[in-house]
Each structure stands twice: as C-alpha cells, then as structure tokens.
Amino acid sequence: MDISRRGFLKISGGAAAGLAMGGLTDLGLNLNPVIAHAQELRIRKAKAVPSVCPYCAVGCGQIIHVQDGKIVNIEGNPDSPVNQGNLCPKGAATYQLAVNPLRITKVLYRAPRSDKWEEKSLDWAMDQIAQRVKKTRDETFVRTWKNPATGEEKVVNHTLGIASLGGATIDNEENYLIKKLMCSLGVVYIENQARI
Ligand code: SF4
C-alpha cells in the first residue's frame, strides 16, 4: 500500500495510540515518503557537490551534500549514466567512512608481545615501515629460482618475505599506487579487498 507523505501524517495522527513505526511497516504501510522527507530536511540547506565513488573502477556517480564546511550526506547521483542514482552497499556507506566518531585518526602502535596500544606520530610510523620493509626485503630477496624437477633456473627477482593486504576503505587510486610500489619491490603477495 503506497501513501503520500500527507496521507501518512493523517493516518499516523489517527493511529497514534500505540502504533510504533515498526508496527506501521508490519501493517503494510510504505514509509518511504516519510523517510524521503526526513532526508530532504537534512540536505535542504546543503550544497550538492557531484563526485565519484572512490572505491572501485565502476566509477559510480555520487552527490556529496556539504553544509558549513561539513559533509552531511552522500548518495548516488541520478544524473550519472553509470549508476543512475544507485550505489552498491559499499558505496552507499561512503558517508559513514567520511563522518564517523569511531574512526581512528591517530597512529596506534602495539609492540610485539605488548597488550597496550601506544600513540605515535605519523613520521615515526613511516620511518618504522620504511626500515622494516627495507630490512625484510634485503634479507629475503631472491634473484633466481631453480625448478627442482627440471633443474631449470629462472630469473624471478622477488621477495616472499613481505605481503601487502589492502583494506576495504582503500580507494581505487591508492590501490593502484600500492600495487605499483609493491611490484617495484618484488613483492608478489598483493591483495586488496575490492575487485569489482
Ligand atoms: S564500490 Fe560500489 S558504489 Fe562504489 S564505484 Fe564500485 S560499484 Fe559503484
């Protein structure tokens, strides 16, 4: 049963005695107009900035709503010929990535066998990563590999001592750069979460 927002307000006024939103949904009422109205209120005074979902090569169009210099909403761009307003679950969660009080914004380090996280500077973390990558690569780099079955020797120039694992929130361009960097180091274990 589809109803307009006005119709919904009338019904909910009459049925206010004890009907919760979940109950209305159970009765088969379509709450989409009400949800859409709440969304409208949230973005009414916001500036709409067209953008592209950062996550994968599909390149779905997004609209980012900005108010007072802050992102207040991100949704699919209906004008995009790629996605026509739709976003996959990952793209639809972009707002939660950008605006999230649980997001960790400082470097946290847990030393081997420690049960505590320590706050560190970004420079410290970058130096540590560079030093450890260099040390591990120097110790594990293999120039050639001999096939034990045939005795044939091949140039491989790789290291099996380092692996790269990209997370779900690493975007397309970051994954591209990570892949380039890792290949240049001779890393062969390279993986990332998104590969649509
Ligand atoms: S992650 Fe989803 S929404 Fe984003 S570009 Fe890829 S398919 Fe589109």
Residue-wise pLDDT tens digits, 63-87: 999 999 999 999 999 999 999 999 9
**How far away, in angstroms, is 55 Cα from ligand 1 center?**
6
* 162 within ligand 1 shell (Cβ under 6 A): no
* 55 within ligand 1 shell (Cβ under 6 A): yes
Q: What is the pLDDT of residue 169?
A: 74
Whether the pLDDT of residue 52 is over 90: the answer is yes
Q: What is the pLDDT of residue 12?
A: 46
Dihedral sign of CA atoms 110, 111, 114, 119 in order = negative
Residue-wise pLDDT tens digits, 120-160: 999 999 999 999 999 999 999 999 999 999 999 999 999 99
Q: Which residue did the predictor score with more confidence, 32 or 2? A: 32
Q: What is the pLDDT of residue 9?
A: 46
**How far away, in angstroms, is 107 Cα from ligand 1 center?**
28
Burial of 174 (0-12, 13-18, 19+ CB in 10 A): middle
| CA neighbor of 5 nearest in space, from 28, 25, 35 | 35
Q: What is the average pLDDT score of the chain?
A: 85
* 53 within ligand 1 shell (Cβ under 6 A): yes
DSSP state, residue 56: S
Whether the pLDDT of residue 13 is over 60: the answer is no
Q: What is the pLDDT of residue 31?
A: 75
Q: Name the packing angle between helices 5-14 and 32-43 (round to 10°).
A: 110
Report how far Cα 153 is from the mean position of its chain's Cα atoms. 42
**How far away, in angstroms, is 195 Cα from ligand 1 center?**
10
* 196 within ligand 1 shell (Cβ under 6 A): yes
Q: What is the pLDDT of residue 37?
A: 74
Whether the pLDDT of residue 14 is over 70: the answer is no
Domain 45-103 CATH assignment equals 3.30.200.210: yes
Mean pLDDT of 75-100: 94
Mean pLDDT of 13-40: 61
> Among 16-25, 65-74, 95-104, 113-122, which is the least confidently predicted range?
16-25
* 56 within ligand 1 shell (Cβ under 6 A): yes
**How far away, in angstroms, is 100 Cα from ligand 1 center?**
20
Scan for tokens 């990332």, then name that residue. 192
| Cα–Cα distance, 155 to 40 (Å, whole number) | 61
Domain residue spans of the chain: 1-44, 45-103, 107-191
Model pTM? Answer: 0.62
**How far away, in angstroms, is 90 Cα from ligand 1 center?**
7
